[in-house]
Amino acid sequence: MKIKTLKTSQRNFSIMLANHLNLQQKNSRQTELTVDRILNGIKKNKNKALLNFIKRFDNTVYKRISDSLVSKSEITSAYSQVTKNTLNDLKKAISNIKKFSKKQILKSWSINVKGSKIGERVTPLKNVGIYVPGGKASYPSTVLMNAIPAKVAGVDNVVMVCPPTDKKLNPLVLVAADLCNVNEIYKFGGAHAIGALAYGTETIKQVDKIVGPGNIYVATAKKKVFGTVGIDSFAGPSEILIIADKDTNPECIAIDMFAQAEHDELAQSILLTTSEKLIISVNNKIDKMINNQKRKKIIKKSLTTRGLFLKAKNQSEIIDIANKIAPEHLEIIGYQPEKLSKKILNAGAIFIGENSPEVFGDYCAGPNHVLPTSGSAKFASPLGVYDFLKRTSLMKISKLHAKELSDIASSIADVEGLYAHSDSAKYRK
């Protein structure tokens, strides 16, 4: 299999690397127009429009929106279709994610200054919508990673939307939602689901924030409703950067590159090393192992178009390149992994050592798998409890402190030419 190789010794290396990483996912004009029509329809005609869009895009007919709400009997039925082993594994994953999430809880705080009380009040969002892709696919992990931090934060009402198949949702998804205490589950998806959550209808209450992945129509809709409601992120294709040295088992690297590449054709798998011998060995392993992969067609397309081998001269270059790429997932398997990890500041999640594959983060280790992509790890963070909390500043100023602040505030206000501000400050002196 021909996977592109770049070396730092090549002329214009930085430009070639940037060009390879730069995936421009431009929405077509038609996509934009379609999403606009859907969102405007929901905004204007609410349930009536939503029922029409569900019929058109979900290929499902409901007499009323309440018919799309998952019933208790459906959830009971879902449990009967899930094996005990799978149920136990879901519960273990939930336990790990909860333990991790609880460490992220923020607390209100205050300080006393000259008799004044100044601080922040931390409160959870009231209503949150989570989008879970559906149809033939099953993503219980998406439910866990989005619902658990919301509930740990203290969100009262979590509403889930998911596209059905023949008016049914995957049993694993339903069981995961129930175990995570999701309050309402609706059997429809797409841009119209985002519109219903963002604007509300006669049946569905408007949420404060929408999280979760989806197709290009869902992603476009989330961008368009941002400002009316909060959203988690503008996510691009999934990606992994693997840092490995000459002593790393090439089979381990090949397996982890497969695991990333099977997401979809646009997923990106990159090996970064100082060893040309390792690059050759990994490529050979990929060629030998690829035909045993059940999703080999997707993997081949991903690796040949978006895959990359990077050859650096030394560890200093490795650190520099890793920080420039700012990968969603970073595996460090060689070069004293823990020590090296402290020098890489830009990554969504770092997996240290051969026993820490990215897949553990995807499902069950505890940290969230909703991570910044496309280099946004330079300024963005993983989804967490923080995303479902808001902070409100509080000030209770004493009479003594007010006299001091009055002089400062009025002075600055006068300089800015905001004289009524100055008068307001002076009035408290």
The residues assigned a catalytic role are 328-329
In this structure, the strands spanning 127-131 and 157-161 are parallel
Residue type, 405: L
Distant-in-sequence, close-in-space partners of 274: CB < 8 Å, separation ≥ 6? 245, 246, 311, 312, 313, 314, 315, 317, 318
CA distance 74 to 22: 44
**What letter would DSSP give residue 332?**
E
Return the DSSP state at 229: B
Pairing relation of β-strands 116-124 and 389-396? antiparallel
Tell whether the torsion through CA atoms of 162, 165, 170 and 174 is positive or negative. Answer: positive
Phi then psi dihedrals of residue 129, to 5 deg? -105, 135
Paired with 124 in beta bridges are 389
C-alpha span between 217 and 419 (Å, rounded):
49
